[in-house]
Structure 1
């Protein structure tokens, strides 16, 4: 199954949400992470202008949201339910951190629909809702203040789900790494220039150039960067030719 289809098999279920703004913000968080299936169990106010306002560019997610009258209706057709809870309770289900849990969800979502179940803002999941979950997910937080906004929780879980599904791949800027020959010519140019201006002395040139080579090796220079650096060296040489050898006794590195 293609990666985008995996996320299409993930249902975000918000139970008895009291504030319409939280629904809108959650929809925005979902769309940012590539999630679209939003199910709402008896929301207090929906549809609502405040939900639309908080959704920003994700109003389409709200328009496609499925409003359900019961937990059974919201979970119909789902084969795995992961419950989100920050509260410490006596529960029989295993409790995972998001980074541990999301690969389990992705594995199942490759075959069948799965659900992420979020409870109401004030009290979280009910005992009935907990009983329907195969496992629980707890977001690590400050022990003295574990309260997390609903939309923030959706965003964090969505991010971890995206990582687990392999959707984290980003388009990297095109770079042209410098060839070994270009790098070597740069080092020779540098050594000649530093010798000419008096920075390199015979007794230390080999050791210092080795350090400089290591420094630039870590940078993994690109062609454009090589050109910039060699341009600086050329200007330095020209300046030295016009004004004489730069006094560098105080600049020489100690052994």
Structure 2
């Protein structure tokens, strides 16, 4: 669990957004949510949008101001899509993850601060941050939904921490790839079947078979798939002889 990262929401106006943020956090194994003077919390809309991330909502702490919410943080990043007049150190979500997400257990407490839905963070709040946190996106439309922004950042941290899980669908990887000998037997069977049903003409047989070889070689058939195709060919031959 990425317990050293604290997601801080400042003056969130819509309680549903708080619930959606809780859900986004739990998806990525992050659980510490801090709320700075939310307009409505707790609220039924927050619970509904959390979709099962009730534990994140229940453990969320409410603070009177941003300094109190980040008091124990050694590094603070403030999310901002707007350019600032004064130059400010900036990191993208991925750069943040690369810098601190790779070894979260040895990283300091890090606050990830997200501002109001309609206006973001104010300048005096950004003054408390060490970095601007950026999410690269369409320059013509750079305003992200609050929960979407949190999801992107949490995802990058999750991947960088090495907790990304790989899954196999069905029997992927369990059935061996067909051997060259098995494939050659299939091609002979295929050529004979096409000749039997009158599809293959002698003057075109070489070019057609060459193209068919290219198709099946690209797919890298496994033995189970090859058995199915051979079964279809046998059925076609038997049906044609009746």
Whether these two folds match at TM > 0.5 is: yes
TM superposition score normalised by structure 1: 0.82
Query: Partner of 2:53: helix, strand, or coil?
Result: helix
User: In structure 2, what is the equivalent of residue 76 of structure 1?
Assistant: 71
68-77 or 121-130, which deviates more:
68-77
Divergent runs of 4+, >6 A? none
Aligned residue for 2:90, secondary structure, equals: strand
Q: Encode CA deviations 1:28-77: one digit per residue, 9 max, x unaligned.
A: 11112222111112222222222112212111100011222332332233
Shift of 1:105: 3.2
CA deviations over 1:164-202 (Å, ceiling 9, x no partner)? 333333311232133314333322321221233333344
Tell me if the contact between 2:10 and 2:38 (Cα under 8 Å) persists in the aligned partners. Answer: yes
Give the unaligned 5+ runs of structure 2: none
* SS of match in other structure, 1:136: strand
When the two chains are superposed, the root-mean-square deviation of aligned CA atoms in Å is 2.3
Alpha-carbon distance in structure 1 between the residues aligned to 2:161 and 2:188: 47
**Structure 2: distance between partners of 1:44 and 1:108:** 35
The separation in 2 between residues aligned to 1:10 and 1:223, in whole angstroms, is 48
Partner of 1:123: 119
Aligned to 2:156: 160
User: How do 1:109-188 residues align onto structure 2 when only pairs under 5 Å count?
Assistant: 109-112=104-107, 113-173=109-169, 174-175=171-172, 176-180=175-179, 181-188=181-188
Instruction: Please give the residue correspondences for 1:1-255 in structure 2 after superposition, counting only pairs within 5 Å.
Output: 5=1, 7-107=2-102, 109-112=104-107, 113-173=109-169, 174-175=171-172, 176-180=175-179, 181-242=181-242
- Deviation track 1:109-136 (CA, whole Å, cap 9, x = no partner) reads 3412322111122221122332233322
**Residues 102 and 162 of structure 2 are in contact (CA less than 8 Å); yes or no, is this contact kept in structure 1?**
no
TM-score (norm 2): 0.86
